[in-house]
Chains A and B, each alone.
Chain A
Amino acid sequence: MAEWIRFIAGSVFLLIGLFIFCVQLFGVFRYKYVLNRMHAAAMGDTLGISFSLVGLMIFSGFNFVTLKFALVILFLWCASPVSSHLIARLEVTTNEKLEEYCKTEKETDK
């Protein structure tokens, strides 16, 4: 019985993670502008992967591997937002026609 509960809980988490990955993929190909696409991609990189890994943690049970999974989640949560931030910063500093795509500080000041 306990095995079944564990299996169902793990698969639910995995399926939620897969669903978020699907939404991410859809968003990446649906949007045309960098910052919009990045928003969609970053969602899967943090939330989707953490849901999938939590599902795998439930499958593996409580042991040393679980700790490693937790460390992987921590690492990804550190690394992915920072890389997204760098891409966004590069886009903002290099795009000369940024006002066409989104509100900038200059416009809001007016």
Chain B
Amino acid sequence: MNRREKEKRKEKSEKEEKKSSRFESWLDGDRDIYDGNMELRPQKEYEPSPYLLRRQENERKKMEERVNDVARNKEYRVFKRAYRVLAVVFCLSFIALLVLAVSWLPPVGQAGNPDNNEVSARYIEEGLQETGSVNIVTGMILTYRAFDTFGETNVLFIATCCVMVMLMLDEAVLKKQETDNDRKYEPKNDAILQGMAFILCPVIFIFGIYVILGGHLGPGGGFSGGAVIGAGLILYVIAFGFKKTQRFFNEAVYKTAKITSLVMYGLIGSYFYITGANGIENHIPLGLPGHILSGGIILPINICVGIEVACTMYAFYALFRRGGL
């Protein structure tokens, strides 16, 4: 303990010597830029006088009496009746509008329908040769529409960042919570649940990895497989608690995995967009359709998306339950 403090102090004094480290120390939270430079005073709480409180209370009572007096309040009666009539009219007209719209839709499965255009025809005819993926849907969303999927992955990243900004607690607060919290009734160290999780968790993880790796061969892909792995992580946390989970999935691992996968997706994707948009030859081999190592960029992107989604699922659960990973 003492040695650690000394090292910290040493680091601090070294940091203060350098001018460029001022920004770093602010970034790490060691130094508050307002501290010492600005007068900070706690805000006084507003306390209304008892006379004012009584007057407000009386006014509110009078108002409520006047409003809730149905017999004399003509406006209220009219409003109530008109509200019912208008609600029925609105619902009926809305239903009529929807039914009318449905009646204008073309019948299902006809060759002349507008959804049978050259785009889907090309996906079906050329998709296998151009993407190397047996599953056309995966081939479509990860190559033709990889840019769109990249945006979706970014949405997940930004969503977890926002939840972290709002719900993440300081380490000191977390430790205090562990000693006196109101969760003592929550089932902890349940023998039945732990036994079941001991059997099920590895199976769930393996199934999630199978779904991710088989995304271009059949139903599956990064989003669904990542959700399965995230659910397995949540089950593990519920059964064994945060301390045991943090041995293999703590904040450092979370940050590394999430940011690495997103950056990898960005790099692979941008290589693909740039070569594709400029007509340059794409050097990623498509492989033999049906094999695991095929489909060009689809497999690595699926793995990246899977890691991203699994991290997001687990982070949401951990942040909402405990306020930290």
Contacts and interface: CB of A to CB of B under 8 A. Distances in A.
Contacts of B196: 78-79, 82
Interface stretch (B10-18, B184-192, B316-324): B184-192
Chain B interface mostly helix, strand, loop or mixed? helix
B200 interface: yes
A38 B13 CA distance: 62
B156 interface: no
The dominant DSSP class at the A interface is: helix
Interface in A72-101: 75, 78-79, 82, 85-86, 89-90, 93-94
Contacts of A79: 196, 200
Interface of B: 185-187, 190, 192-193, 196, 199-200, 203
Contact of B187 (A75, A78, A89): A89
Given A93-B185, A94-B185, A86 B200 contact: no
Which interface class (under 10, 10 to 19, 20 to 34, 35 or more) fits A? 10 to 19
Given A90-B185, A90-B186, A85 B200 contact: no
The 3 closest A-B pairs by CB, nearest first: A82-B196, A93-B185, A89-B187
Nearest to B194: A82
Interface of A: 75, 78-79, 82, 85-86, 89-90, 93-94
Contact of A82 (B185, B186, B192): B192
Contacts of B192: 82, 85
A94 B183 CA distance: 11
Contacts of B200: 75, 78-79
Nearest to A89: B187
